[in-house]
């Protein structure tokens, strides 16, 4: 076996490789860990494009997990799509000794189709939540599991606290749309709430993004990161590889290459330069052409994309560190604390200090 950190993903198979075990392998491997797999179900489509899921037997699934755990001792176990109640009951005993367990129940598909029955949801809550280190789910899945509606930030906090009461250590609640024009996510760990927002509502809802994000987080946890750091680094990876990147098959090749290189440059240099001209020069294009590229591909100006990235980083520093506002200003590349404060107010309608006190 390669001398890499082993991570076990227990998930369904997707022949197209966009989600499921295949996508997990790709993300875990790209980040430098060793992907181990236990397949729970396989999918197929008929000539009309309808998708059918065939579940493997509990004995087959547990047999895979037992053999891998015994031989390879994975540091982190990610649990994705498991649709059988008896499998869930048996699975608990096989993985309970894992150092960290990331649970991503996959109750709904990205199109909103329910993938597991209500009995299975009850089994997940009873058997898997109490042994999980981190629960990652979308707001509509939380609504289904808790029989509630999530319409405000307070509703999100109430939802994650309900999951904490069920025994899970930390919760990441994603993709709430109650704030106009924004996607809101909430991380709840060690009794603290960390809110994240993004203007890139389309990017974060792409098919496969949630699975890739959870695999990246699981990998960073295996490397020894705490949960906040793991999510921070996983987000950086996602911004460069998934959320802002677009497929050359569906966009004009030249513009796609420029766009993806631009976003990679932003992730590497946001703390050095906030000027569109800096990135245009690096790409050997004009600022006007760069604006055409980003507007054609995602409908957002390069200036706003840079600002979005800086805001994300600033919120992480405000919520998860003890750095002063002045220190954060310097780390983000601002000429002064007042310049950073003005930037933050313009984008968030409040001061950095007010945001930190929430």
- What confidence tier does 2 reach under pLDDT thresholds 50, 70, 90? very low
| Burial group, residue 190, by CB count within 10 angstroms (0-12, 13-18, 19+) | exposed
HSE, side-chain direction, 13 A CA sphere, residue 60: 10
Its sign, for the CA torsion 258, 214, 331, 298, is positive
Give the tokens for residue 144: 């289904």
Query: For the residues 213-239, what does the mean pLDDT come to?
Result: 88
Cα 216 from Cα 304, distance rounded (Å): 26
For 1, 9, 230, 258, the CA distances from 132, given in Å and listed in that order, are 27, 14, 16, 41
Question: Percentage of residues in the chain with pLDDT exceeding 90?
Answer: 57
- What confidence tier does 251 reach under pLDDT thresholds 50, 70, 90? very low
Q: Which fold has domain 6-243?
A: 3.40.1190
Residues pairing with 114 in the sheet: 108
Name 203's Cβ contacts closer than 8 Å, sequence gap at least 6. 209, 242, 243, 244, 298
Highest mean predicted confidence (pLDDT) among 93-107, 117-131, 283-297, 311-325: 117-131
Give CATH for domain 253-356: 1.10.10.60
- Give the pLDDT confidence of 131-183 residue by residue, as tens digits: 999 999 999 999 999 999 998 889 999 999 999 999 999 999 986 655 555 66
Name the 3-class secondary structure at 67. Answer: helix
| Best CA proximity match to 272, nearest among 325, 317, 334 | 334
DSSP-derived letter for residue 56 is: P
What is the crossing angle of helices 20-30 and 209-222, to 10°? 40
Query: For the residues 182-188, what does the mean pLDDT come to?
Result: 80
HSE, side-chain direction, 13 A CA sphere, residue 45: 7
Name the 3-class secondary structure at 332. Answer: coil
Cα 247 from Cα 196, distance rounded (Å): 26
Name 32's Cβ contacts closer than 8 Å, sequence gap at least 6. 4, 219
The chain-wide mean pLDDT, for the chain, equals 86
Domain ranges across the chain? 6-243, 253-356
pLDDT at 202 over 80: no
Bigger pLDDT: 320 vs 174: 174
Give the tokens for residue 69: 């755990």
Strands (E), 48-182: 51-55, 76-79, 100-103, 134-138, 170-176
- What confidence tier does 249 reach under pLDDT thresholds 50, 70, 90? very low
- What confidence tier does 245 reach under pLDDT thresholds 50, 70, 90? low
Highest mean predicted confidence (pLDDT) among 43-47, 222-226, 234-238: 222-226
Highest mean predicted confidence (pLDDT) among 31-45, 176-190, 200-214, 335-349: 335-349
Residues pairing with 6 in the sheet: 34
- Give the pLDDT confidence of 121-134 residue by residue, as tens digits: 999 999 999 999 99
- Give the pLDDT confidence of 4-14 residue by residue, as tens digits: 899 999 999 98
**Which pairing describes strands 51-55 and 41-45: parallel, antiparallel, or unpaired?**
antiparallel
Q: Structure pTM?
A: 0.67
């Amino acid at each position: 076996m390669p001398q890499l950190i082993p991570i076990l993903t227990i998930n369904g198979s997707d022949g197209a490789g966009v989600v499921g075990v295949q996508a997990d392998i790709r993300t875990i491997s790209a980040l430098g860990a060793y992907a181990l797999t236990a397949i729970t179900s396989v999918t197929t489509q008929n000539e009309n494009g309808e998708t059918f899921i065939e579940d493997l037997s509990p004995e087959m699934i547990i047999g895979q997990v037992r053999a891998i755990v015994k031989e390879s001792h994975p540091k982190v176990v990610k649990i994705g799509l498991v649709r059988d109640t008896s499998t869930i009951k048996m699975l608990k005993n096989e993985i309970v000794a894992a150092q960290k367990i990331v649970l991503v129940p996959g109750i709904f598909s990205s199109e909103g189709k329910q993938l597991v029955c209500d009995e299975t949801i009850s089994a997940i809550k009873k058997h898997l939540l109490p042994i999980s280190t981190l629960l990652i789910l979308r707001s509509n899945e939380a609504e289904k599991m808790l029989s509630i509606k999530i319409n405000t930030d307070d509703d999100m906090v109430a939802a994650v606290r309900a999951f904490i009461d069920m025994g899970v250590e930390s919760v990441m609640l994603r993709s709430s749309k109650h704030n106009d024009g924004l996607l809101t996510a909430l991380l709840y760990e060690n009794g603290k709430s960390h809110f994240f927002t993004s203007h890139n509502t389309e990017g974060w809802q792409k098919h496969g993004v949630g699975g890739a994000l959870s695999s990246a987080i699981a990998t960073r946890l295996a490397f020894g990161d705490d949960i906040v750091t793991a999510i921070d680094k996983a987000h950086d990876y996602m911004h460069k590889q998934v959320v802002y990147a677009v497929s050359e098959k569906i966009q004009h090749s030249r513009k796609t290459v420029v766009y993806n290189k631009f976003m990679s440059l932003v992730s590497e240099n946001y703390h050095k330069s906030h000027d569109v001209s800096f990135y245009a020069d690096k790409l050997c294009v004009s600022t006007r052409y760069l604006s055409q590229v980003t507007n054609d591909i995602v409908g957002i100006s390069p200036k706003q994309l840079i600002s979005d990235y800086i805001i994300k980083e600033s919120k992480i520093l405000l919520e998860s560190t003890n750095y002063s506002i002045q220190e954060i200003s310097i780390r983000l590349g601002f000429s002064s604390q007042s310049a950073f404060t003005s930037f933050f107010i313009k984008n968030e309608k409040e001061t950095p200090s007010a945001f930190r006190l929430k």
